């Protein structure tokens, strides 16, 4: 095999709670992460030198390329890879697009070069590059703890249709976490109840239980974010911010409602799409 094609799926957070802070500044969290049907696509092929091309403005040193260079260094590999990334996932959007691409490169290189690395090996290396990478390697739906390395599969969650919206500018994750340290959050989050509701398909109860404790911090730094929920609410949909922002999502009754909502939201926000959860 000389070339491999991989899809890298975005994620949303059904909830995000901050539970502490490590000495190195990283935050301990408890979150429900879920992959959705919005993908970047990547091609990896053996080449004369290491190069990375990306359809969007992500420089040569993007996370996916750094993941390959870290793997190569760690295993003292001699091969070189050319990586092509076609982005569909908005950048700096709280959807783990960069982490998903990096996870895809680690899995793709493992397969392409027959490296025989276990998922634990990949997770350890992934975690050293970004806190969301272990989840992106695992996929599906997980309860995520630690800074992102403790994963518990939530296999019983059925498939849902969602509408996603993004304001069209990047949100700085480190800045949002720093602002959280300053302002905290008043959002109440009941993660076990959110899991129960998701597993039982009780969509209508979720908005009273879910929450994202980075919401206030993100809105403080990017005040225009606080307008996005209004657009969802005007459609009768209850939104939640994903990750450190600035994407929001809402649950829909099915594909038709999600697509109609995406079309409507596009009149107000830069980008919107109907997506389905992946299990
Ligand atoms: O690991 P990642 O690159 O995704 O994180 C970007 C930044 O977000 C980190 O450098 C850190 O400042 C902050 N962060 C955090 N706690 C986490 C994840 C990220 O403080 N659990």
Give the model confidence (pLDDT) of 209-224 as tens digits. 999 999 999 999 999 9
Query: How confident is the model at residue 233, as a pLDDT?
Result: 98
Mean pLDDT of 83-110: 97
For the chain, give the number of residues.
279
Atom of ligand 1 nearest to the CA of 28: 21
- 246 pLDDT exceeds 60? yes
Instruction: List, for residues 123-132, the tens digit of each pLDDT value.
Output: 999 999 999 9
Structure token digits, residue 254: 């099915």
Compute the distance from residue 235 Cα to the ligand 1 centre, in Å: 33
Closest Cα to atom 7 of ligand 1: 174
Confidence of residue 57 (pLDDT cuts 50, 70, 90): low
Active site residue 132: yes
Closest Cα to atom 8 of ligand 1: 174
Query: How confident is the model at residue 55, as a pLDDT?
Result: 87
Query: How confident is the model at residue 228, as a pLDDT?
Result: 98
Confidence of residue 58 (pLDDT cuts 50, 70, 90): low
Query: How confident is the model at residue 59, as a pLDDT?
Result: 59
Confidence of residue 48 (pLDDT cuts 50, 70, 90): very high
Query: How confident is the model at residue 2, as a pLDDT?
Result: 86
Q: Which residue do the tokens 């340290």 mark?
A: 181
Mean pLDDT of 19-30: 95
Query: How confident is the model at residue 13, as a pLDDT?
Result: 98
- 67 pLDDT exceeds 70? yes
Mutation pick for ligand 1 pocket among 22, 24, 27, 218 (CB with most ligand atoms within 8 Å): 27
- 133 pLDDT exceeds 90? yes
Query: How confident is the model at residue 69, as a pLDDT?
Result: 97
Atom of ligand 1 nearest to the CA of 99: 4
Mean pLDDT of 112-116: 97
Active site residue 196: no
Mean pLDDT of 130-152: 97
- 152 pLDDT exceeds 90? yes
């Amino acid at each position: 095999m000389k070339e491999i094609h991989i899809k890298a799926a975005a994620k949303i957070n059904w909830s995000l709670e901050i539970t502490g802070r490590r000495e190195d500044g990283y935050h301990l969290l408890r979150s429900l992460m879920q992959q959705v049907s919005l993908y970047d696509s990547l091609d990896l092929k053996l080449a004369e030198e290491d190069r990375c091309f990306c359809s969007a403005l992500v420089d040569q040193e993007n996370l996916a390329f750094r993941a390959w260079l870290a793997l190569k260094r760690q295993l003292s590999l001699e091969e070189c890879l050319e990586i092509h990334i076609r982005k569909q996932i908005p950048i700096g959007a709280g959807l783990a697009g960069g982490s998903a691409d990096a996870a895809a490169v680690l899995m793709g290189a493992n397969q392409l070069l027959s490296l025989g690395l276990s998922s634990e090996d990949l997770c350890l290396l992934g975690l050293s590059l970004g806190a969301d990478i272990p989840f992106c390697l695992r996929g599906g739906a997980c309860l995520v703890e630690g800074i992102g390395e403790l994963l518990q599969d939530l296999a019983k969650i059925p498939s849902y249709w969602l509408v996603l919206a993004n304001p069209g500018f990047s949100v700085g994750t480190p800045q949002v976490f720093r602002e959280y340290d300053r302002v905290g959050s008043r959002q109440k989050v009941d993660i076990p109840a959110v899991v129960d509701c998701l597993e039982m398909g009780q969509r209508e109860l979720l908005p009273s239980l879910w929450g994202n404790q980075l919401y206030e911090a993100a809105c403080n730094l990017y005040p225009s974010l606080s307008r996005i929920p209004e657009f969802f609410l005007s459609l009768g949909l209850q939104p939640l911010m994903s990750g450190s922002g600035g994407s929001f999502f809402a649950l829909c009754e099915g594909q038709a409602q999600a697509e109609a909502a995406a079309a409507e939201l596009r009149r107000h926000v830069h980008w919107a799409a109907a997506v389905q959860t992946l299990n």
